[in-house]
A and B are shown apart, each in its own frame.
Chain A
Amino acid sequence: MRRDYTIYLFAALGTFLVLYIALPIVVVFVRQASDAEMLIKTLHDPLVLEALRNSLVTATATAFIALFFGVPLGYVLARKEFPGKSLVQALVDVPIVIPHSVVGIMLLVTFSRTILDNYLGIISAMLFVSAPFTINASRDGFLGVDEKLEGVARTLGASRLRAFASIAFPLAFPNIASGAIMTWARAISEVGSILIVAYYPKTAQVLILEYFNNYGLRASRPIAILMVSISLVIFVLLRWLIGRAKNA
């Protein structure tokens, strides 16, 4: 049989990206391992701990807000045809193409002091850039649920809301949860718009930048390590849980 060279070639090309993503993560950990002293010092820095807590709390809050508004929107987009639907679809994707500093400026111009340097500001910035993930994932999830299932549930006596809650939502849940995790991940990695809208209360992302500017690479790296570790552990754990739920 002839060897399938095409797939080997593609695999070789694809490997470049895999290595390119993995390498910096590995290297930053390896470098830090030789500088344990600084890591321990950082772990005792109340400013760092406070910033990490802020990041986690605001990103989590953002994910829940995105779910609360994004799931219903995803359902409507999946189930209803209405005038202007493609406009709504396009608008949902807009935050992905706007530079994040621009997002910060737009938000500040629109809401000014209400969101300046407070938790609401951080969450507003995060929500703007990260909500599309939850909306699109929910929509795709609901599109994957056969509408007949809900139809049958209704003939059996379920209201639309009940059919949604007991049929559509549980079946679309793996998609919705993946979307929420993406939203969370995108939120916790957001810097650009937060720098402009809410420099304080300080989030870890902003603190890393501040330490880098003021004290250099050696001071900012341990925070970066902590941030990446926490994010990766939560990201991987949640994805694993969803994968299990999907196969149950």
Chain B
Amino acid sequence: MLEVKDISKDYGDFHLRDISFTVSEGEYFIILGPSGAGKTVLLEVIAGLISPDSGRILLNGIDITEWPPERRGLAYVPQNYALFPHMSVHDNIAFGLRLRKLPKAEIEKRVKEIVEVLGIENLLKRKPRTLSGGEQQRVALARALVTEPPLILLDEPFANLDVQTRGRLINEMKRWKKELGFTALHVTHFFEEAVSLGDRVGVMLDGRLVQVGDVGEVFSRPSSERVARFLGFENIIEGTAEGRKLRANGIEIELPTEAHGEVRVGLRPEDVIIFTEPMKTSVRNVLRARVEGIEELGPIVRLRLNASGLAISAFITRSSFIELGISTGKEVYVGFKASALHVF
């Protein structure tokens, strides 16, 4: 649906270089990158607020690179939400609809619908400056979604919120995404957001999109050391949860908390234990795996393991690597405590 082709742009201290990716209809695409990677500039280029130095942007196959923002109709939610301070919440949300010259009754109906879904009916008469961060975020989202844009551009939508509100709103966002079925391009530097919400993810470092793929794939097979280091959580296991059991690739894994349906869990490589013989242990999850790759990183060795098709990466010290006599192709046992798992 959205096709970004070889976009380059020098803008102040930011340098976008040959950015290419596509977002399909109904997809939630996340661009993950550290602060200063140029994520905001990229969003504004797509929104039409900044024109690129080179490259094209296509929407449903039509080249919109030269179109002004008002013609593109891509909704944009900046990091500070940019609510119009001189208008009530209602007028903020109705702004785009009024520009479309819809009949008054239709405007009221659509505003009512969106505020009900987002749970902000009681804020309609308030001025933006009286709202909390979480409330502002929802109003901004309502204003963007009410015009039913083909694509919504979200710049760090959860960055300005306190930790609790953030967790709650990320969960809410999962529900809204299902309920409203919008297509989103969301940029963030929090990998939790990518894992919780993303259908696909692109990793952006220094103005380049260095890796694009399904969330599980990008996290389990980072294309470079820098990507891996930035992502932190290297093991993302996808599966179907039923209570405290997670089924992934025919393997059963015990979870620390109850969950249901499709979930992703994260496991840090340093939390993975390797042993060569089966033994009695308190570790709840033990899998048989084959060593497929060995990377020596100074005092630490990273093992790439394959447990019945599940890719797991583990860090062990150099001394245990030598003592255990690990080599490529060797069969080992992989263990991790249920409490080491992070359910997204």
A interface residues with partner B (beta carbon < 8 Å): 146, 148-149, 151-160, 162, 166-167, 170-171
Contact = CB atoms under 8 A, between A and B. Distances in A.
Given A156-B143, A157-B100, A148 B85 contact: no
Contact of B80 (A146, A155, A157): A146
Interface stretch (B42-50, B184-192, B256-264, B304-312): B42-50
Nearest to B76: A155
A191 to B, nearest CB: 39
Given A155-B75, A157-B99, A158-B99, 8 more contacts: A148-B80, A149-B82, A149-B84, A149-B85, A152-B76, A154-B68, A156-B70, A171-B85
Contacts of A153: 84, 95
Interface of B: 44, 47-49, 68-70, 72-78, 80, 82, 84-86, 95-96, 99-100, 143-144, 147, 153
B84 A162 contact: no
A151 B96 CA distance: 13
Q: Dominant SS at the A interface?
A: helix
Contacts of B147: 156-157
B251 to A, nearest CB: 46
29 contacts: A146-B82, A149-B82, A149-B85, A151-B47, A151-B49, A151-B78, A152-B77, A152-B82, A152-B143, A153-B84, A153-B95, A154-B49, A155-B47, A155-B48, A155-B69, A155-B72, A155-B74, A155-B153, A156-B70, A156-B99, A156-B143, A156-B144, A156-B147, A157-B147, A158-B70, A158-B95, A158-B99, A159-B68, A162-B99
Contact of A151 (B69, B85, B144): B69
B53 to A, nearest CB: 16
A152 B78 contact: yes
Contact of B78 (A148, A156, A162, A171): A148
Centre residue among A155, A158, A167 by max chain B CB count within 10 A: A155
Contacts, number: 64
Contacts of B47: 151, 155
A153 B70 CA distance: 8
Nearest to A160: B68
Contacts of B77: 152
A1 B51 CA distance: 59
Contacts of B75: 155-156
A148 B44 CA distance: 10
A151 B72 CA distance: 13
7 closest A-B pairs by beta carbon, nearest first, are: A156-B96, A157-B99, A154-B69, A148-B82, A155-B76, A151-B49, A152-B82
A159 B78 contact: no
A155 B77 CA distance: 10
A157 B86 contact: no
Nearest to A153: B95
A152 B75 CA distance: 8
A151 B153 CA distance: 13
Nearest to B143: A156
B105 to A, nearest CB: 19
B133 to A, nearest CB: 16
A157 B249 CA distance: 47
Given A151-B44, A151-B47, A156-B96, A171 B82 contact: no
Contacts of B44: 151
A162 B70 CA distance: 10
A155 B47 CA distance: 7
B125 to A, nearest CB: 14
A158 B86 CA distance: 17
A170 B86 contact: yes
A69 B125 CA distance: 36
A166 B99 CA distance: 11
A142 to B, nearest CB: 14
A167 B78 contact: no
A181 B72 CA distance: 40
B24 to A, nearest CB: 21
A159 B70 contact: yes
A167 B84 contact: yes
